[in-house]
Structure 1
Amino acid sequence: MSGLFRDELELVQTVVRAAAGLSQSLLRSDDKGVLAKDDLSPVTVADFAIQGLLCASIHARFPTDHFVGEESADDLRGNSTLLNRVWELLSHASTQPSSNAVTLPRNPEHMCELIDMCGHGAPGGPGSGRVWIFDPIDGTQTFVRGEAYAINVALLVDGQQVLSVIGCPTLPASSQEPVHNATIDPTGQGLLIYGTRGNGVYIAPLLARDSDGQVDMHPSSRKLDAHAATATRNTLRSVSCFNLLDSGVEDIHRAVMEDLNVPLPGCDLLGWVPRWVTLALGLANVTVWVYKRRDRHGKVWDHAGAMMLFEELGGKITDIDGVPIDLTVGRKMTANHGFVAAPAHLHSLVLETLQSTLRREGKDHLLASK
């Protein structure tokens, strides 16, 4: 890909490949260093190590940019065993054939400072400049089982999504069937998907090997067709999450798809980033998500950049009230409730079906007051 953000794309693709290698090496370990966070989701050595690797490498090249990431270093500073595990894993990145693009923290304290640079950061709106957003491991609960997860990197400029690079080590680059958490790429290569605003979306193998058995840092890419722009009501296919999350109104998700005659379960994935990826790949082209309470909100690292890929291919994304998604308000997306994503020319149909279903099922309190 040529043009705007070419240097950023080349750098981030290399670092995401290195990060994917680290995460896969940890999967082969029996002890993934799982902790319980305040929100009861697990966090692993890989989350900290990858966030440190991403921030160190991008900060070294673009030192005036700002950063947002899921993790802070509080647990590392309070747990020397965990700190040593993370530093040991990061040190392995120096042995990977990842070119000079990968930069490591100077020492464990510098690593903590970089992680905190992300963990204490927040996106902004006009005038906020360049802000990188990381989710080092999206889908941690499935990651610890060796199932679907993603490494998400996005760049916002003045609050607008302009670049997305995502590594999905378990998802196949080519599939005609719905994917789910336990889907594993039989080639072992995984998927790298990336794009910049206005320049389309590309995919490539994530962990392809060259003739010497080393990770190929520059495999050939393929541009995706704008499949959402040509979708019809009869070709709608769903992605959602069933039976693993209690934050959403699962019966509403099912009812909306039944009202639209969309076959279920379709793609079934825990992590939001893998869900956005399946929408970009065309394995699905519609999703709805309603939180159980109006005070529940998405987190910016689960969605930034990844949403843009579907939009580049003819998709439209709003919340359940039809309000455009606002990534500028903070680490939590408090300006929006839930998500409705569909081909742009069918979005109003899906949105109206969802709102009608909520009213029919006596859940109209989950819609914005008028």
Structure 2
Amino acid sequence: MAYDKELAAAIKAASLAARLCRKVQKALLQSDVRSKHGRNKSPVTVADYGSQALVSFVLQQEFPGEFSLVAEEDSNDLRKDGDGEIVERIAKLVNESLTSDGSYGVSLSSEDVLKAIDSGKSEGGSQGRHWVLDPIDGTKGFVRGDQYAVALALLDRGNVVLGVLACPNLPLTSISVAHPHSPNNEVGCLFFAEVGRGTYMQPLDGSSTVKVVSAVENPEEASFFESYEAAHSMHDLSSLIAQVKYGALSRGDGDIYLRFPRNGYREKIWDHAAGSIVVTEAGGVVTDAAGKQLDFSKGKYLDLDTGIIVSNQKLMPLLFDAVRASVAQKSKPQP
């Protein structure tokens, strides 16, 4: 079954959201106001809510009769704050984005924006279709002026059938080569994948689409992705990572991604839905530590065995052996 219309809408929504986020990040870095907190008035909060409101609005316009969104944010904190300034800032950014696109000819009120944000309260599941959104995956990277992604996927009866990763700060050329930046330091990538049709990458402006495949076979040549933060992980097994690196891995920038959260941490579907299909449609493999495919049909959370392993088909058997040995070693009583 083709999802041409859905993929086109997802690319449009994620691209608009990424441009909104890039605009906010530029202002953030110029002002050097980098707190993630502060009664929901920080720039990263504005971008996070603005991204979700924009994606939600676009998808509802494109699919008014069949819309369900599982997303990270809701408007509760914005409404409790009692200060309309932050919502007005979000609405202004959303409306500027819609005006620049020119497709809809509407201006959203603050209440319209709050309702759009709250449209992401679906629980998902195995029935029907559900969009899955992380409006900014990698908020710490966003604050630093580093990598982050707008991650959008579509579930159809519990299966991920398409995914889009908009990565505003990722160089167009591989970050693994000797000269990691594209000509003129050009950055801004959009990865998209549809089940059975492969993974593609294009600049955020939509030009020059190319198919991407990752296929390193020699484990001695394989590279691990590491992230700046590791707050949710066991440091000796893996580290916290943003979905932008799913996209980078799909094109061969790296070859192995291990994610083993601390006990008690539950993985959310919006952290992996888009990235997983981008990797698998590029020929990669995404499983839990027992080798089972990730199950996105259970609602907002993934029911995992230990952790997540991402690589290609040649390296995966060796990775399973290494992970099992490492976990077994950690399980032994210490003298």
Which TM bucket (shorter chain)? 0.7 to 0.9
Query: Hey, what does 2:255 align to over in structure 1?
Result: 285
Q: CA separation of 1:99/1:8 partners in 2, compared to 1, >3 Å: closer, same or farther?
A: farther
Q: What SS is found at the alignment partner of 1:358?
A: helix
Which ranges of 4 or more aligned residues in structure 1 deviate by more than 3 Å? 31-34, 102-106, 182-189, 334-337, 361-364
**Residues 131-178 of structure 1: CA deviation (Å, up to 9, x unaligned):** 111111111111012111111110110010111111101001212527
8 Å CA contact 1:153–1:165 kept in 2: the answer is yes
> 1:183 offset after TM fit, Å?
8.2
Q: Which amino acid aligns with 1:235?
A: E
In 1, Cα distance between the equivalents of 2:184 and 2:50? 27
Structure 1 residues 314-325: aligned runs within 5 Å:
314-325=283-294
Alignment partner, residue 208 of structure 2: 220
Post-superposition CA distance 1:274-331 (Å, at most 9, x none): 12112111111211121221x2121111110211111112222211233321112222
Question: What stretches of structure 2 of length at least 5 have no aligned partner?
Answer: none
Counterpart for residue 98 of structure 2: 94
Per-residue Cα deviation, 1:4-31 (whole angstroms, up to 9, x for no partner): 2222222222222222221121122225
How many residues align? The count is 325
Question: Is the Cα contact below 8 Å between 1:319 and 1:325 reproduced in 2?
Answer: yes
1:186 to 1:351, Cα distance in 2 relative to 1, 3 A: farther
**Deviation sequence 1:262-283 (CA, Å, 0-9, x none):** xxxxxx9x54311211211111
The yes-or-no answer on 1:73 pairing with 2:75 is yes
Q: Aligned pair in 2 of structure 1 residues 290, 114: CA closer, same or farther (>3 Å)?
A: same
Q: Which amino acid aligns with 2:230?
A: L
- The alpha-carbon deviation at position 223 of structure 1 amounts to 1.1
The 2-side partners of 1:155 and 1:300 are apart by 11
Structure 1 residue 238 corresponds to structure 2 residue 240: no
How far apart, in 2, do the equivalents of 1:271 and 1:42 lie?
21
Report the CA distance between 1:337 and its aligned residue.
3.2
TM-score normalized by structure 2?
0.87
* Paired position in structure 1 for 2:131: 132
Contact 2:95–2:107 (CA under 8 A) maintained in structure 1: no
In the TM superposition, 1:1-12 aligns within 5 A as 4-12=2-10
The SS at the match of 2:173 is coil
Alignment of 1:278-317 (within 5 A): 278-293=248-263, 295-317=264-286
Aligned-partner Cα distance in 2 for 1:71–1:240 = 27
Structure 1: which 5+ runs fail to align?
A: 208-217, 254-267, 365-370
Distance 2:230 2:251 in 1: 23
Q: Cα gap change, 1:234/1:248 in structure 2, threshold over 3 Å: closer, same or farther? A: same
Percent identical among aligned pairs is: 27
* Residue from 1, 23, 26 that aligns with 2:24: 26
Q: Is the 8 A contact 1:65 1:129 kept in 2?
A: no
Aligned partner of 1:85 among 65, 86, 89: 89
2:150 corresponds to which residue?
151
| RMSD across aligned positions (CA) | 2.9
Retained in 1: the 8 A contact 2:288–2:304?
Answer: no
Other-structure match for 2:232 = 247
Query: Contact between 1:317 and 1:339, CA under 8 Å: does it hold in 2?
Result: yes
TM-score, reference length from structure 1: 0.79
Partner of 2:165: 166
